[in-house]
Structure 1
Amino acid sequence: MSDKEIRIEPVDGKKGRARFVDLGRMFAAREPHSVPQLRSEQLELVDPGKNPFFGHASHQLFVATRDGKDVGRISAHIDHLALELPPEQGMGPGTGMFGYFDAEDEDVAKALLAAAEDWLRGEGMTHVLGPISMSIWEEPGLLVRGQDHSPMIMMGHHPAHYAGWIEGAGYALAKTLLTYDLEVSHDFPPLVRRIVQSGHRNERIRIRRVDKSKWDSEVQIVLNILNDAWSSNWGFVPFTPEEIAYAGKKLKPIIHEPINYIAEVDGRPVAFMLTFPDVNGVLKRIEGKLFPFGWVKMLRWLRKPTGSAMRVPLMGVLKELHNSRLASQLAFMMISKIREDAVASYGSTRAEVGWILDDNQGMIAIADAIDSKINREYAIYRKPL
């Protein structure tokens, strides 16, 4: 074999994971609007000993080399909970996945995709979805629109040419995920304000802030609603108890009470909306490094993320209320309160809502009603094996 030929190496263990993560960081650093993430957090996501996703998943990491240099990476993985879902929801029996896709050129891309496909085929999978890095709840999809501005917290950023390489390897579009950009320094349109005011006059409805003094129980409420509300959505995989505990621990530092809400009807929690201040703003300033002095800026920001943009990544209403006027009213009431408090408490001027599935007409209608505009699109591809 010539030194110029592409070799695909499976990697594992602490050194292998570090090599895999550092290669991804190298590719990310080349992109003008990419934001350097904390290396320790990236290592934790691919560590089976730390990320509870691996309690129901099997995986293999691969690195491509050529002429003695690392030139690409990919993960192949199987979420065994996804195998139990109805095929009409996008996954189901035989579903493998690839993620963490980076490549120097199209030849490397094809070799990496072929290696991931071979591994999945050997595990009995009949089709592959991707990129999904690595849980559907982490970074699903390939950025295909919106490379001209930086991503927000927990959102991937990829060069535009990756889409052509994936499609050239025989993949077809399975689903598009949308994010919406929203100017929050001015109030919502009159129709939305009337809906919100009507809700506040309804004594059955209570919109309350998340209470961090009861954090564990609040997390349980939110994720129980989420598991119910999203259970029929494309790509949905339920959170396990271990993942609920893990998510609660990881999210607590960035949860600020004034911008996170639970809606109750007759005293019963039926909906929620979470908002994260955009940590990518401070990560860019500290270049993704806590040491030697980045941790000081990070701690200051965590206490009071003044001036931060906001991202609404998750909201849910119990399934029994879907397609009702009450469901949309609760959503408008929560997002209205979040807008007011983000401006008043943190001086925010913009926010993003997403991801939203491209066929989620209810959420798209809400996004349109508040005058938000699509600013990013993420593609998930599918291929038979």
Structure 2
Amino acid sequence: MRSTKMGRRQESVKRGAFDASRWIWHRVVMAREALDIVPVSSRTESRAFCALPYALYRGDPYWVSPLRTMERRRWSLRDNASLRTRRVRRFLARRDGRVVGRIASIVDPGFAARWEAEAGFFGFFECADDAVAARALFGAAEADLCTQGVRHVLGPVSLTTNDEVGLLVDGFDSRPMVLSPYNAPYYARLVEAAGYAPRLDYYAHAWTPDTGLAPVVARLRRLAARDGVTVRPVHPRRWDAENRLLFELYNASFADLWGFVPLTWDEYRERAGDFRAFYRPELVLFAERGGRAVGFGLSLPDINELLAPLGGRLWPFGWLQLARGIHRIRSARFILLGVLPEHRARGVAVVIAAEMADAAHRLGIDRAELSLVQADNRKIQAVIAACGGARIKTYRLYERRLAG
């Protein structure tokens, strides 16, 4: 049975089994009768899952509609390599036939093998300000995770820890930058009411060209230069070779960062293909020493500047607006800064960050965001502070331990 009707008991289940639908019935029937929790199993339900945020955030001045074509591709096994290696189940909440919420249960075998065998995720949570519906959605996701041996739920995670992570809990006064999470302020209340507690915070920092660099940055740049460290931009005409180098540096640089799961080449290649239309070579940097790449930095122009007025649609004139505006973008997001472990004591990270600031200034970038940085990553936070970054947003990863 695909739909769990609140107010109608399910058929009896095998003695001792964990009946997800019965659990949801007990949680919801006391409040309102007409709430259904529906696992997504058809194209129509998948479209409803993707469409919900566009309805929930209608009129929100800060929400940026993602391209609808990209949202559909996210759930295509052909187009999303990450989906092929994770176990995902999606759920919808319907009240009186209208979709009011959604959630996904996610099991990442790579995360389980690397960090915690009994861990799983919730993700893609969107909901009206309806605590009953939210609790029912979490109950459905948790019940599904339990059947797969999960006893520790973390989230929100948008499929993998290499994608959007965390719930926005502070900094609702500006729109999100490219590939950044966004949600309504009441979401934290819904998540916490469902039994979740904070696990880890992530920060976003603002930077402007007139901020200035700390004096220590100039000294570290001189020392790094004496040590043979140089910085260069990516070569666009060597796309394949440069991306293979970025892929290797990415996986090696972040291997010891909590929660990191290495990308496969297919996953990386898909992401690079998505960025190719709007990246700027001047904002993709390699640090080299002795002819060997030892670190990298990646910033992307904030394409949300152009997406905001499109409503998620490229037809009929969205393509034209993007093509005309791509080189007029005046904000950027500094997304990645990685250095190989054996070279971190040489000031390489500071040099990359300073060179990135210089490149952004030359391109006319007047506002940048450096994100997301784990709250316990003191070294990168020190680099950001030295470059004049100021914290403006906080994103929170939540957790809940499930009864055995």
Do they superpose with TM above 0.5? yes
Residues in 1 aligned to 2:97 and 2:174: alpha-carbon distance in whole angstroms: 34
Say which of 31, 34, 37 aligns to 1:8: 37
Aligned equivalents of 2:33, 2:241: Cα separation in 1: 56
Confirm whether residue 321 of structure 1 aligns to residue 343 of structure 2: yes
Equivalent residues in 2 for 1:57-206, closer than 5 Å? 57-86=86-115, 92-104=116-128, 105-202=130-227, 204-206=228-230
Give the 5 Å matches for 1:1-385.
1=6, 4-86=33-115, 92-104=116-128, 105-202=130-227, 204-302=228-326, 304=327, 306-322=328-344, 324=345, 326=346, 329-345=347-363, 347-385=364-402
Shift of 1:193: 2.3
Checking the alignment, whether the CA contact within 8 Å between 1:259 and 1:337 is kept in structure 2 is no
The 10-residue stretch of structure 1 (19-28 or 350-359) with the greater mean CA deviation from structure 2? 19-28
RMSD over aligned CA atoms reads 1.6
Residues 178 and 357, structure 1, Cα contact 8 Å, conserved in 2: yes
User: Aligned-pair distance for 1:281?
Assistant: 0.4
Give the CA deviation at 1:191.
2.2
Aligned mates of 1:27, 1:221 — CA distance in 2? 41
- Which residue of 1 is the match for residue 24 of structure 2? none
Residue 29 of structure 1 deviates from its aligned partner by 2.6
Q: Write the letter of the residue equivalent to 2:261.
A: V
Number of aligned residues: 372
Provide, for residues 137-190 of structure 1, a one-character-per-residue CA deviation record: whole Å limited to 9, x for no partner. Answer: 221110001111100000111111111111111111111111111112454232
Cα deviation digits, residues 264-285 of structure 1 (max 9, x gap): 1100011000010000001113
Which of these two proteins has the greater Rg computed from alpha carbons?
Answer: 2
- Rounded to whole Å, the distance in 2 between the matches of 1:44 and 1:81 is 22
Letter in 1 for 2:331: A
**Shift of residue 100, structure 1, vs aligned partner:** 0.8
Q: Is the 8 A contact 2:302 2:329 kept in 1?
A: no
Shift of 1:103: 1.4
Distance in 2, matches of 1:29 and 1:136, equals 28
Cα contact 1:307–1:349 (8 A) shared by 2: no
In structure 1, how many angstroms separate the alpha carbons of the residues matched to 2:226 and 2:372?
31
Q: Is the 8 A contact 1:185 1:343 kept in 2?
A: no
CA drift of 1:201 comes to 4.5
Distance 1:254 1:294 in 2: 15
Judging changes above 3 Å, is the alpha-carbon distance between structure 1 residues 24 and 285 closer, same or farther for their aligned structure 2 residues? closer
CA shift at 1:250, angstroms? 1.5
Determine the structure 2 residue equivalent to 1:89.
none
Deviation at 1:260, TM superposition (A): 1.3
CA distance 1:51–1:297, change in 2 (3 Å): same
Give 1:30 shift: 4.5
* Fraction of identical pairs, as percent: 30
Q: Distance in 1 between matches of 2:36 and 2:369?
A: 40
Aligned residue number for residue 15 of structure 2? none
| Aligned counterparts of 1:135 and 1:46: Cα–Cα separation in 2 | 13
Q: TM-score by structure 1 length? A: 0.93
State how far apart, in whole Å, the 1-side matches of 2:57 and 2:290 are. Answer: 48
Amino acid corresponding to residue 164 of structure 1 in structure 2: R
Q: Aligned partners of 1:262 and 1:373: how far apart in 2?
A: 25
Does 161-170 or 273-282 show the bigger shift? 161-170
Deviation at 1:339, TM superposition (A): 1.8
